[in-house]
A = this chain, B = another copy of it.
């Protein structure tokens, strides 16, 4: 029985369209073997669209995106400091707009130091962990405000909102991820000694769920201490679960230690399937190098692997991951030649189809 996947593609701004083109190419190549068809619709969203029409994400966009099985996003955001974008926060309106509207409560960000890749760490060790970042709560809810703006008496507040419902569902997901891994270790990262209310909610839920997973070793780190281990002993981590803001910070650091943001993939997942999940490289739109075939599409291609996994096409996902690992190793073994965005995509396609 053949299967058709309806994929919404949001190329976005800057290097987004270039890396997405390679990701789609790889996706087509990998599923050619399976009895699966991809039916893509492209959505022009991002800074360019905003500058043209004034829209960030309309109800119509959202409704038609929701008709899809999954979303592949390149990167969004205009040139920093562009005065025409001053009051439009594209990242917030679009990226967070989609994450919240589609209830992407799991933000999944694996961190692997692939053989052959140079880490900025002197002795990186074997690093292979995954951060399960909460995606719909915390200080990201937009529950802030200010009074007396622009005056010396201004007060600006930001509220981090955390619910047992929201924490439990992402914590359960993280335990399931840990359960499926060899080391079966889960680390809660928070700042319980200062954010005592949110912290004790997170700690309570982790303790409660832990009781159902006696095979899993659970520990806790303050977020500040966690950053130390990221650079001194990242091998200690297996699965981390943390809030939206801490997860944002830690996953950029994770990307940095594993050889750069050019390799970091992410999934914004609604595990219930009620809404389509969205897969995107962690990197931004990098307008300074856009349109020159200079961007590394690897993060976008690894995001395709996460997408395939999410859709249950685990073999295809594994093949993409292997081809990427293979390509990264070959890169390090051959002379350090600078390949174009398309050349990297082509090399991975060749590895997949050989």
A29 part of interface (Cβ distance < 8 Å): no
Of A92, A142, A154, chain B has the most CB atoms within 10 Å of the CB of: A154
Contact of A144 among B146, B156, B198 (CB under 8 A): B198
Contact, CB under 8 Å: B164 / A154: yes
Q: How far is the CA of A146 from the CA of B204 in the complex (A)?
A: 13
Contact of A193 among B89, B122, B157 (CB under 8 A): B89
Identical copies in the complex = 2
Q: How far is the CA of A204 from the CA of B154 in the complex (A)?
A: 11
Contact, CB under 8 Å: A255 / B228: yes
A121 part of interface (Cβ distance < 8 Å): yes
Contact, CB under 8 Å: A152 / B165: yes
Contact, CB under 8 Å: A157 / B161: yes
A253 part of interface (Cβ distance < 8 Å): yes
The distance from the CB of A248 to the nearest CB of chain B, in whole angstroms, is 5
Q: How far is the CA of A163 from the CA of B158 in the complex (A)?
A: 12
What string of 1s and 0s marks CB contacts (under 8 Å) between A221-232 and chain B? Answer: 001110110111
Contact, CB under 8 Å: B201 / A158: no
The distance from the CB of A89 to the nearest CB of chain B, in whole angstroms, is 6
Q: How far is the CA of A290 from the CA of B96 in the complex (A)?
A: 46
Q: How far is the CA of A119 from the CA of B123 in the complex (A)?
A: 10
Complex A-B: 17 CB contacts under 8 Å? A120-B232, A139-B158, A139-B160, A140-B194, A144-B197, A150-B204, A152-B168, A155-B162, A156-B163, A156-B200, A157-B159, A224-B249, A225-B252, A230-B253, A231-B231, A249-B249, A253-B253
Which residues on A are within 8 Å of B, measured CB to CB? 89, 91-92, 96, 118-123, 139-140, 142, 144-146, 148-165, 168, 191, 193-198, 200-201, 204, 223-225, 227-228, 230-232, 245, 248-249, 251-253, 255-257, 260-261
